[in-house]
């Protein structure tokens, strides 16, 4: 039976309904999805060797015998480490797993059975081990003399092994090739020449492929799944011409979406403001400090955009505490003086309240009317704010996603400001923008990324960078320690409180979890109150009612509390200059960006500040590495680069709003050159054919619509 890329995978030879259902759970619903289920790496059979010959950092395969399968608890936690001990005539080596790949994984291996172990050799405390290798049984009829082969290794899906997946992909190509033969026969019989090979429509137009020397997509797919030993080194590094083409395609979809969106924005008309700076100058004069050069430059770029006839789409990125909020208030003053309304949307009520307090403090003395709206407000209070917004009696409204509710109707909204933009999806941002007169759009983030990367990934936004901290900000001393040294940490806490300072203690959980043996905010708050009755200890977490959270924060700000025990609700926005100590429990459970954001809550006053990262038991390599990076670096841009390397692009930037959810091969760090090439190609296409009306761009237009739906939906 011949197939095409849209044929459901269950009709492929060797699949059937049951296996098809399993594949469907992992997003492999049709033949096209199967061909985009790429090998995660390759096994170089030339690298097959004995255990005694292994060296650290090698990626190898060994054919060995199972000696023992066992599990053990990690420290005092409920977590387990699983070990498959294997050996050959030259020695033994442990295969360690800190999580179970899938239920029943270890039951497959009986003692004395023959298996193939494929993975990277790790030197752990002077002993060679495999961590999370691929282990597959050696089949009875398997030829041990397979030499000079490079074998694709796929992520296993429950009962579907890598070798089984390899066989399914081979079957797919065979059946697709049958379709090609059938088409050739029809062409011969009828004399009609088909435009494309069945199921292999190449969305990237021919002129782009030729201009950028790109391999044919069908050929690329074949070479990635059915590798040639001559390409072994390039394949192992995902640098083969086939990988380059497929990675280009993933980037090209994103960049075409961003390029077309930027073109659409530039076609629209937006409120064109005049160069009125009286309110802006009054705000600057009222400040007890001088703006940094980076703040001044960012505001100048914003003011220039607001004086153009099309909507501003600008990203302001700056480190924690660099003064992005003040730049946004300057922009709101500029809009207000031109007779327009502004809004600031933030992800949490605590941050909204912080922005509201600051906006009132700086702007109300200048006559700028500031409003506030969050989900936790009473219906009557909300209604009053709605009426003032609609009547134009509020110049700047600060709020959470409550700003995009259908009842909110602005009179003359011209400037939309979104803080911590990675917390919001594209659709939420669009809903707020729809409330204005094709408004100007300013987004801010304290998750800095390298400028070239920001300009490429946020291709529809112009980028401003605030890379200076205000004068007087002291570096924060950061140290890692372990739970076993907690008494010393608490002694240091008491010493700081005795000097009149305040402290945060942050936990990853609100209440006890049966699945994770981690300390939690509620229990630890109780223990701290009992252990240190002299300390005034408050508790803050996301499950509390808004009024309760507001009350606790007010007590802490007014120094009626010494210690604030909290979850990550204080990650952004909380500003208490007298707080100079941040203790983060189970720091290994947090990403670098979160750790840096939390650390940024201290160091805001005149006192020397500290951040203590308390690591739990049995901390993995990544957890320790993150703690060491925090000790070594205070620059948010440096930390962001490291974060990107460790976490990968999807989680780092937020897959939903950046369009990175579809990346299967591409890596923003490794493939930056291809990303920039794809960006250039995408803008070439949009410049030549903005609406993609040319017949040669029909498949490209369809691909763009699919990408648009994936990003927004």
Half-sphere exposure of residue 405: CA atoms within 13 angstroms, side-chain side: 16
Number of other residues whose CB lies within 10 A of the CB of residue 451: 14
Residue-wise pLDDT for 167-176, tens only, equals 999 999 998 8
Q: Which three-class secondary structure string do you get for 648-675?
A: CHHHHHCHHHHCHHHCCCCCCCCCHHHH
Q: Region 149-164: what's the mean pLDDT?
A: 84
Of 486, 489, 490, 508, whose CA–CA distance to 588 is shortest? 508
Say if residue 1's pLDDT is above 70.
Answer: no
pLDDT in tens, 47-94: 667 899 898 888 788 889 999 999 887 766 667 889 999 999 999 999
State residue 474's pLDDT score.
75
Lowest mean per-residue pLDDT among 15-29, 426-440, 697-711? 426-440
**Model confidence pLDDT, tens digit, residues 291-302:** 999 999 999 999
Q: Which CATH number fits domain 41-153: 3.40.50.720, 1.10.3720.10, 2.40.50.140, 3.40.50.1980?
A: 2.40.50.140
pLDDT at residue 36 in the model: 92
Query: pTM of the prediction?
Result: 0.66
Q: Assign domain 309-466 one CATH number from 3.40.1280.10, 3.30.930.10, 3.40.50.300, 3.40.640.10.
A: 3.40.50.300
CATH for 476-633, options being 3.40.50.720, 3.20.20.480, 3.40.50.10860, 3.40.50.300: 3.40.50.300
CATH 2.40.50.140 occupies which residues in the chain?
41-153
pLDDT at 28 over 80: yes
Band of residue 46 on the pLDDT scale cut at 50, 70, 90: low
Name the segment(s) of the chain with CATH classification 3.40.50.300. Answer: 309-466, 476-633
More confident residue, 122 or 510: 122
**pLDDT tens across 460-502, in order?**
778 888 888 777 677 899 999 998 898 999 999 999 999 999 9
* Residue 183 pLDDT exceeds 80: no
For residue 162, give the nearest of 170, 153, 171, 172 by alpha carbon. Answer: 153
Higher local confidence (pLDDT), 352 or 641? 352
Residue-wise over 248-258: b if at least 16 C-beta within 10 A, else e? bbbbbbbbbbb
pLDDT, tens digit, for every residue of 574-612? 678 899 999 999 999 888 888 988 898 898 888 899 999
Checking if the pLDDT of 44 tops 80, the result is no
State the pLDDT confidence band at 446, using cuts at 50, 70 and 90.
Answer: confident
The model's pLDDT over 220-253, given as tens digits with 9 standing for 90+, comes to: 999 999 998 888 888 888 889 999 999 999 889 8
Q: Residue 598, CB half-sphere, CA atoms under 13 Å: how many?
A: 30
In terms of C-beta density within 10 A (0-12 exposed, 13-18 middle, 19 or more buried), how is residue 657 classed?
buried
pLDDT for the residue numbered 100: 81
Q: Tell which wins on pLDDT, 76 or 371.
A: 371
Q: What is the pLDDT of residue 631?
A: 94
Predicted pLDDT of residue 655: 44
Find all residues with CB under 8 Å of 414, minimum gap 6, and list them.
270, 271, 273, 335, 338, 340, 341, 342, 436, 437, 439, 440
**Residue 449: is its pLDDT beyond 90?**
no
| pLDDT tens, position by position, 119-137 | 889 988 889 999 988 888 8
Average pLDDT over residues 516-527: 79
| pLDDT over 70 at 201, yes or no | yes
- Cα(223)–Cα(240) distance, rounded to whole angstroms? 9
**Is the pLDDT reported for residue 162 higher than 90?**
no
Judge whether 599 and 582 are in contact, CB under 8 Å.
yes
Percent of the chain with pLDDT over 70: 86
Per-residue pLDDT at 268 exceeds 90: no
């Amino acid at each position: 039976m011949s197939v095409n890329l849209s044929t459901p995978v269950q009709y492929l030879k060797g699949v059937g309904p049951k296996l098809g259902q399993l594949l469907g759970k992992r997003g492999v619903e049709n033949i096209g999805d199967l061909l985009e289920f790429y090998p995660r790496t390759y096994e170089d059979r030339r690298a097959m060797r004995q255990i005694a010959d292994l060296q650290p950092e090698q990626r190898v395969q060994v054919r060995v015998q199972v000696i023992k399968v066992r599990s053990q608890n990690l420290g005092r936690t409920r977590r387990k480490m699983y070990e498959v001990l294997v050996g050959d005539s030259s020695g033994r080596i442990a295969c360690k797993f800190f999580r179970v790949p899938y239920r029943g994984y270890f039951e497959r291996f009986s003692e004395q059975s023959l298996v193939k172990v494929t993975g990277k050799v790790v030197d752990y405390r002077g002993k060679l081990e495999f961590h999370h290798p691929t282990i597959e049984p050696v089949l009875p009829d398997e030829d041990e003399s397979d030499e000079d082969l490079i074998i694709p290794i796929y992520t296993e899906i429950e009962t579907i092994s890598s070798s089984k997946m390899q066989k399914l992909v081979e079957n797919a190509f065979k059946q697709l090739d049958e379709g090609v033969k059938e088409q050739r026969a029809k062409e011969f019989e009828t004399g009609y020449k088909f435009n494309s090979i069945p199921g292999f429509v190449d969305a990237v137009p021919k002129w782009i492929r030729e201009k950028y020397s790109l391999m044919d997509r069908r050929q690329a797919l074949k070479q990635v799944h059915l590798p040639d030993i001559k390409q072994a080194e390039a394949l192992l590094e995902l640098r083969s011409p086939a990988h380059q083409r497929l990675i280009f395609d993933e980037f090209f979809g994103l960049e075409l979406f961003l390029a077309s969106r930027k073109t659409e924005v530039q076609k629209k008309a937006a409120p064109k403001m005049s160069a009125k700076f009286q309110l802006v100058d009054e705000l600057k004069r009222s400040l007890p400090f001088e703006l940094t050069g980076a703040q001044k430059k960012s505001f100048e770029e914003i003011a220039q955009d607001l004086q153009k006839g099309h909507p501003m789409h600008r990203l302001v990125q700056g480190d924690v505490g660099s003064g992005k909020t003040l730049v946004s208030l300057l922009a709101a003053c500029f809009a207000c003086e031109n007779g327009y309304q502004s809004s600031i949307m933030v992800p949490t009520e605590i941050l909204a309240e912080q922005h509201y307090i600051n906006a009132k403090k700086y702007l109300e003395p200048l006559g700028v009317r500031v409003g506030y709206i969050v989900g936790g407000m009473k219906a009557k209070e909300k209604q009053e704010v709605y009426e003032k917004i609609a009547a134009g009696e509020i110049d700047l409204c600060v709020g959470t996603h409550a700003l995009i509710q259908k009842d909110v109707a602005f009179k003359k909204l011209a400037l939309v400001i979104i803080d911590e933009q990675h917390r919001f999806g594209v659709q939420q941002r669009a809903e707020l923008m729809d409330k204005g007169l094709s408004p100007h759009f300013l987004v801010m983030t304290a998750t800095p990324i390298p400028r070239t990367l920001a300009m490429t990934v946020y291709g529809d936004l112009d980028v401003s960078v605030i890379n200076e901290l205000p004068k007087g900000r002291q570096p924060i001393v950061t140290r890692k320690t372990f739970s076993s040294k907690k008494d010393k940490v608490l002694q240091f806490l008491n010493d700081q409180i005795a000097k009149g300072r305040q402290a945060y203690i942050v936990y990853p959980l609100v209440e006890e979890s049966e699945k994770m043996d981690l300390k939690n905010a509620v229990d630890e708050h109780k223990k701290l109150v009992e252990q240190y009755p002299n300390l005034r200890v408050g508790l803050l977490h996301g499950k509390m009612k808004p009024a309760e959270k507001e009350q606790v924060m007010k007590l802490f700000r007014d120094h009626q509390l010494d210690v604030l025990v909290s979850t990550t609700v204080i990650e952004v926005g909380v500003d208490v200059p007298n707080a100079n100590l941040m203790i983060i429990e189970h720091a290994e459970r947090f990403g670098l960006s979160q750790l840096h954001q939390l650390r940024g809550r201290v160091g805001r006053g005149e006192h020397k500040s500290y951040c203590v990262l308390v690591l739990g038991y049995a901390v993995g390599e990544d957890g320790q590495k993150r703690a060491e990076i925090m000790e070594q670096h205070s620059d948010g841009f440096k930390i962001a680069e490291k974060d990107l390397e460790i976490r990968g692009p999807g989680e780092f930037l937020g897959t939903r709003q950046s369009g990175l959810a579809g990346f299967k091969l591409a890596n923003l760090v490794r493939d930056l050159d291809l990303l920039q090439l794809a960006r250039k190609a995408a803008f070439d296409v949009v410049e030549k054919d903005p609406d993609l009306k040319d017949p040669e761009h029909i498949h490209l237009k369809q691909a763009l619509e699919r990408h648009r739906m994936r990003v927004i939906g």
